[in-house]
Amino acid sequence: MKIHFYILLIYLPAIALVGQPTKEQIKAVETAKKEVKRMKGQPFPDFALTTLEGTVITKEDTKGKILLVNFWFSRCKPCIMEMPEMNEMVKELKDEEIIFLAPTFDDAELVDKFLDKRDFDYHIIPNVKDFCLEMNVRSYPTHFIVNREGIIEKVIIGYSSMTVGALKKTARKLLKSE
């Protein structure tokens, strides 16, 4: 029963956007998830992303720092469910050398409206559909934890009660291994 719940959380965003998913859509999502998981141990790709505030953050800016990347979108119920915990994690780790990025395919106007009602303490990166596709992200939320050398240390797809704990545990492990 628990497994069905987690599967539902992973597929819910796709179902909400297009109705009942086809077998081809489910297969495409599963294939993309496998590709994302295979990225563990690989370098995080080069990027130059513009935050909602207009600041450009590049991979070069993250050298020597830990990077937590949370792919999300404003109509994703699991993404919204995890935000309070994610914000607490940002507060707990604010004095550490960690950069929190939140890319989304949503445009800036939609994100602004969303943030009028909710807080999300990551650096929000709107309108990056191409980057989401480049990273093979098809399930939301998807989290990447990148170590100080720019290597993907952990990938977490979906949301559960253990997601933020796993993110914090990995971040703390990386902070200790300077």
How many Å apart are CA 46 and CA 44, to the nearest integer? 7
Global pTM?
0.82
How many Å apart are CA 5 and CA 100, to the nearest integer? 27
Predicted pLDDT of residue 19: 61
CATH, range 2-176? 3.40.30.10
- Find out whether 98 and 121 touch, Cβ atoms under 8 Å: no
List, as one string, the DSSP characters of 102-143.
Answer: EE-SS-HHHHHHHHHH----SEEE-S-HHHHHHTT--SSSEE
Is the pLDDT at 27 greater than 70? The verdict is no
Q: What is the pLDDT of residues 139-158, one digit of tens each?
A: 899 999 999 999 999 999 88
State mean pLDDT over 82-90: 96
Six-digit token string for 122: 């990551």
